[in-house]
A and B are shown apart, each in its own frame.
Chain A
């Protein structure tokens, strides 16, 4: 028994959230032989890292609210903001400034609630009213905000991926993109399930950065993401050597791409990621979610968070706005 650390800072949870008692066959059917008959390390041909663009988003709950409904039942509300954007590395790393989108929502389970435009001096902050069908508790409103952000991310990724000269990376499991290009890969930072069995997992700690596992096919309708009707190709790769302090599984990332692509194209994509991602991975001590939170993405998140506006300033604006409105209604 050797105790080793997992690299993520605990306030971000853990990069490994799988349950050790999960039965491997619970996630069948998995086809491990789509690329090779033997489950052994794959070492791609060396080459230059491909130009890449990575899509990401940030969200923030600005204020929770509670409204007295017409019949006296409480109606939850959430003022929230999110921003999505992309960073491109093709020799120079740069934020695609013109692609950044900032949205603000007032999410609620009520009826016919208008948009709220709060102005302060020359600045107008607009929270679009949006009804959430099952928004009966505050968590579901936060989840709805998250969904909105993921939708916006998917929308941006689909749009950007039409430029097939660049590899497009999307944060999280690959969601259904509307007419995406052919070179889109989803990367999963937090491993909730392995899909492969314990015997196959033994290969992971032995991989060196630059190598990867063979491809495996996750059949349609499998796992958490039920909407992938075509199945997904997936593979693991180690991001960087973490030294003896950290467990090697703490540095592994899973990637996936659409199951509809020809296998040769998928192999090429997998090889590209094996060459590219170790160089983009972050170092423990520099990023709380190292090595999974890629360096360009960390910078993108900082910019996006910044674009949401200062948290205290937005809260202050909301406080003033809601307070004035309430005073007006209640004491008029």
Chain B
């Protein structure tokens, strides 16, 4: 009983692909991979089908394939898909030990390979299954672009290279409209610290956008704010990486992505001022070109930054929050009574954060005999003694860690120690700050950014600001509320219209506020912990990718984007900028002003002040 398929002759890319053509013709077709399967277990459907991989050919995970099937009226339907599983077996063999018999030459059985394909695109949109026996070809070049919707992306940026050797690797693109706020915004990156290379990838994305000029006219005025929280990874962005010279293929990889291979061109570095009387930046191995930043006491009181000192997730649920608000209001009233260049309370100048704390404590005295006006309220509204004590405990603890970031208006020249986003990339180095101080700085900066953006108003031509925040689980944990979490939620939900784009990262998305993760147009996953990969937050990965995500190596990420129904694996090139001092290409540091003087390097190993 022979089956002859009489479907009409169809042609794809110059090759005749009739189902009834002799198999020998396919041998000359380099892209031919096999035939669509139609068994009971592996039936074909419009959304997924299996392929019998022809002997002598192979398909691997992530291969992009194309099938042309014919409707009864002869119209051709093109189905594109991505291989997400490949299976090999001895056909007809059922028992475990049979494999030994096959090897001994006793049991006849042929190894067969089948691959499972998830359909990504159907052109035109007639959702019929490809017919069993239809030829499956590897989609390369234009066909691959169609399979992955790259052809429909008017503005696109390179996510990285698809897996494969460098010669054959092709770029994987993302649709910029979904990144810069036109149709969507925000990126969320998950993965184990150290292995998942989350920060490196976020930096790569910024590089692709800024140095790759992918933002078009807005590139010049677009900005990025990135926090350096671990090590000194981001403090040498403006220096070329020595690997550009040492690894010959690195430049080719950048060329494949149509990106230059060089350091970032426009970077401003900021670090908190050190304790003591000099407004010097508190950094490690780099001091040149780094601006020390602090806020003045007056700014602190005027802008109500006090609340960013109370960042524990539970703060909002307690009476402390009410007291923070009351104290903030009183401080703002005192600002109005002060001379324009100083901060005074009750007419007495406050010149340090400790003095401010003392003043607050004095005003919270609820002794009924006291003559001072109490900020703790009177009568029913009065804060309890317990609340006041808890408030003071937290304030004093915070003051220990970040009091040096809020200085008198007479400390140095405050105007030259603000974080200005006048360079394309603004790096704020927090790695030597205590956790509580880190959260204060991030909270204040994000708040400032949002305020500023709200003033400008929404428009398509407002250049976007990208904010990279790692450890989102610390700033926007799933449980509880805090001022920073509110700010981040605000960015996630309204940032798109304000041109504030959040590139958030965390080890575990399951510990981050769901709405922040859900609002990200692009979800990216590096290597995941096995248990974490099974959480509902990664359902978008599908079964196979959840498994594979636990095996990803540094430099490989899985990208899910709105237009493509399957996650894609990308490799991004090794940074062309230095990620530590030892990587800085020879000659680059010396050329930089003050490069040979490295007076602060000896503090390198000092642990962050506690």
Which residues in A have some Cβ–Cβ distance to B below 8 Å? 87, 89-95, 102, 122-123, 125, 279-280, 286, 295-296, 299-300, 302-303, 307-309
Q: How far is the CA of A302 from the CA of B108 in the complex (A)?
A: 11
> Is B106's CB under 8 angstroms from A93's CB?
yes
Which residues on A sit within 8 Å (CB–CB) of B101? 93, 295
Known: A95-B108, A296-B108, A299-B92. A125 touches B102 (CB 8 A): no
> Is B105's CB under 8 angstroms from A89's CB?
yes
What residue in chain A is nearest B40 (Cβ atoms)? Answer: A310
Among the 9-residue stretches B2-10, B58-66, B478-486, the one with 4 or more Cβ atoms under 8 Å from chain A is B2-10
Q: How far is the CA of A286 from the CA of B100 in the complex (A)?
A: 14
**Looking at the complex, which one of A95, A102, A123, A279 makes contact with B106 (CB distance below 8 Å)?**
A279
- A278 CB → nearest B CB, Å: 11
Known: A125-B1, A303-B92, A307-B1. A296 touches B6 (CB 8 A): no
> Is B106's CB under 8 angstroms from A91's CB?
no
**Looking at the complex, which one of A91, A93, A122, A309 makes contact with B107 (CB distance below 8 Å)?**
A93
Is B109's CB within 8 Å of the partner chain A? yes
- Contacts A93-B109, A308-B1 supplied; 18 other A-B pairs, CB < 8 Å: A89-B105, A89-B108, A90-B105, A91-B105, A93-B102, A93-B105, A93-B107, A93-B108, A94-B108, A95-B108, A123-B1, A123-B2, A123-B4, A279-B104, A295-B106, A296-B106, A302-B92, A303-B108
Known: A122-B6, A295-B101, A302-B92. A87 touches B1 (CB 8 A): no
**Which residues, 98 to 126 on B, are CB-close (under 8 Å) to A?**
101-102, 104-110
- B5 CB → nearest A CB, Å: 6
Which residues on A sit within 8 Å (CB–CB) of B4? 122-123
Is B609's CB within 8 Å of the partner chain A? no
Q: List 19 A-B contacts (CB under 8 A).
A: A89-B108, A91-B105, A93-B101, A93-B108, A93-B109, A94-B108, A123-B1, A123-B3, A125-B1, A279-B104, A280-B106, A295-B101, A295-B106, A295-B107, A296-B106, A296-B107, A299-B108, A303-B92, A309-B1
Is B247's CB within 8 Å of the partner chain A? no
Is B531's CB within 8 Å of the partner chain A? no
- A94 CB → nearest B CB, Å: 5
- A33 CB → nearest B CB, Å: 35
- A209 CB → nearest B CB, Å: 15
Which residues on B sit within 8 Å (CB–CB) of A303? 92, 108
Is B536's CB within 8 Å of the partner chain A? no
Is B95's CB within 8 Å of the partner chain A? yes
Which residues on B sit within 8 Å (CB–CB) of A123? 1-4
Q: CB-defined interface of B1-34 with A at 8 Å, one 1/0 digit per residue?
A: 1111110000000000000000000000000000
Which residues in B have some Cβ–Cβ distance to A below 8 Å? 1-6, 92, 95, 101-102, 104-110
Closest 4 CB pairs of A and B: A93-B108, A93-B105, A92-B105, A299-B108
What residue in chain A is nearest B101 (Cβ atoms)? Answer: A295
Find the residue from B3, B92, B105 having the highest chain A CB count within 10 A.
Answer: B105
- A9 CB → nearest B CB, Å: 16
- A163 CB → nearest B CB, Å: 18
Q: How far is the CA of A303 from the CA of B104 in the complex (A)?
A: 20
Which residues on A sit within 8 Å (CB–CB) of B109? 93, 299
Which residues on B sit within 8 Å (CB–CB) of A308? 1
Q: How far is the CA of A59 from the CA of B5 in the complex (A)?
A: 27
Q: How far is the CA of A296 from the CA of B104 in the complex (A)?
A: 11
Q: How far is the CA of A307 from the CA of B3 in the complex (A)?
A: 12
Q: How far is the CA of A76 from the CA of B402 in the complex (A)?
A: 102
Q: How far is the CA of A298 from the CA of B106 in the complex (A)?
A: 11
- B360 CB → nearest A CB, Å: 84
Q: How far is the CA of A303 from the CA of B108 in the complex (A)?
A: 10
Which residues on B sit within 8 Å (CB–CB) of A296? 106-108
Which residues on A sit within 8 Å (CB–CB) of B1? 102, 123, 125, 307-309
Q: How far is the CA of A28 from the CA of B109 in the complex (A)?
A: 44
Which residues on B sit within 8 Å (CB–CB) of A280? 106
- B331 CB → nearest A CB, Å: 84
- A285 CB → nearest B CB, Å: 9
> Is B95's CB under 8 angstroms from A87's CB?
no
> Is B105's CB under 8 angstroms from A87's CB?
no
> Is A286's CB under 8 angstroms from B105's CB?
no
> Is A300's CB under 8 angstroms from B108's CB?
yes
- B110 CB → nearest A CB, Å: 8
Which residues on A sit within 8 Å (CB–CB) of B5? 122
Which residues on B sit within 8 Å (CB–CB) of A309? 1
- B2 CB → nearest A CB, Å: 8
Q: How far is the CA of A295 from the CA of B104 in the complex (A)?
A: 12
Q: How far is the CA of A92 from the CA of B108 in the complex (A)?
A: 8
Which residues on A sit within 8 Å (CB–CB) of B107? 93, 295-296, 299
Q: How far is the CA of A55 from the CA of B105 in the complex (A)?
A: 17
Q: How far is the CA of A90 from the CA of B106 in the complex (A)?
A: 9
Which residues on B sit within 8 Å (CB–CB) of A300? 108
Find the residue from A89, A93, A286 having the highest chain B CB count within 10 A.
Answer: A93
Which residues on A sit within 8 Å (CB–CB) of B2? 123
Q: How far is the CA of A202 from the CA of B4 in the complex (A)?
A: 58
- B575 CB → nearest A CB, Å: 52
Which residues on B sit within 8 Å (CB–CB) of A94? 108, 110
Which residues on B sit within 8 Å (CB–CB) of A87? 108
What residue in chain B is nearest A279 (Cβ atoms)? Answer: B106
What residue in chain B is nearest A308 (Cβ atoms)? Answer: B1
Find the residue from B1, B3, B102 having the highest chain A CB count within 10 A.
Answer: B1
Which residues on B sit within 8 Å (CB–CB) of A90? 105
- A90 CB → nearest B CB, Å: 7
Which residues on B sit within 8 Å (CB–CB) of A295? 101, 106-107
Which residues on A sit within 8 Å (CB–CB) of B110? 94
Q: How far is the CA of A299 from the CA of B106 in the complex (A)?
A: 10
Which residues on A sit within 8 Å (CB–CB) of B106? 89, 93, 279-280, 295-296
What residue in chain B is nearest A91 (Cβ atoms)? Answer: B105
What residue in chain B is nearest A283 (Cβ atoms)? Answer: B97
Q: How far is the CA of A279 from the CA of B105 in the complex (A)?
A: 10
What residue in chain B is nearest A51 (Cβ atoms)? Answer: B105
Q: How far is the CA of A102 from the CA of B4 in the complex (A)?
A: 17
Q: How far is the CA of A92 from the CA of B106 in the complex (A)?
A: 7
Which residues on A sit within 8 Å (CB–CB) of B92? 299, 302-303
Q: How far is the CA of A300 from the CA of B106 in the complex (A)?
A: 11
Q: How far is the CA of A73 from the CA of B108 in the complex (A)?
A: 49
- B6 CB → nearest A CB, Å: 5
Which residues on B sit within 8 Å (CB–CB) of A299? 92, 107-109
Q: How far is the CA of A307 from the CA of B92 in the complex (A)?
A: 13
Find the residue from B4, B95, B101, B110 having the highest chain A CB count within 10 A.
Answer: B101
- B266 CB → nearest A CB, Å: 66
Which residues on B sit within 8 Å (CB–CB) of A89? 105-106, 108
What residue in chain B is nearest A294 (Cβ atoms)? Answer: B106
- B521 CB → nearest A CB, Å: 46
Q: How far is the CA of A233 from the CA of B107 in the complex (A)?
A: 29
Q: How far is the CA of A303 from the CA of B109 in the complex (A)?
A: 10
- A54 CB → nearest B CB, Å: 10
> Is A286's CB under 8 angstroms from B95's CB?
yes
Find the residue from A123, A307, A308 having the highest chain B CB count within 10 A.
Answer: A123
Q: How far is the CA of A309 from the CA of B110 in the complex (A)?
A: 20
- B297 CB → nearest A CB, Å: 86
What residue in chain A is nearest B110 (Cβ atoms)? Answer: A94
- A74 CB → nearest B CB, Å: 30
Which residues on B sit within 8 Å (CB–CB) of A102? 1
- B563 CB → nearest A CB, Å: 38
- B535 CB → nearest A CB, Å: 43
Q: How far is the CA of A295 from the CA of B105 in the complex (A)?
A: 10
Find the residue from A87, A95, A295, A309 having the highest chain B CB count within 10 A.
Answer: A295
- B71 CB → nearest A CB, Å: 16
Q: How far is the CA of A279 from the CA of B107 in the complex (A)?
A: 11
- A37 CB → nearest B CB, Å: 37
- A272 CB → nearest B CB, Å: 16
- A102 CB → nearest B CB, Å: 6
- B42 CB → nearest A CB, Å: 16
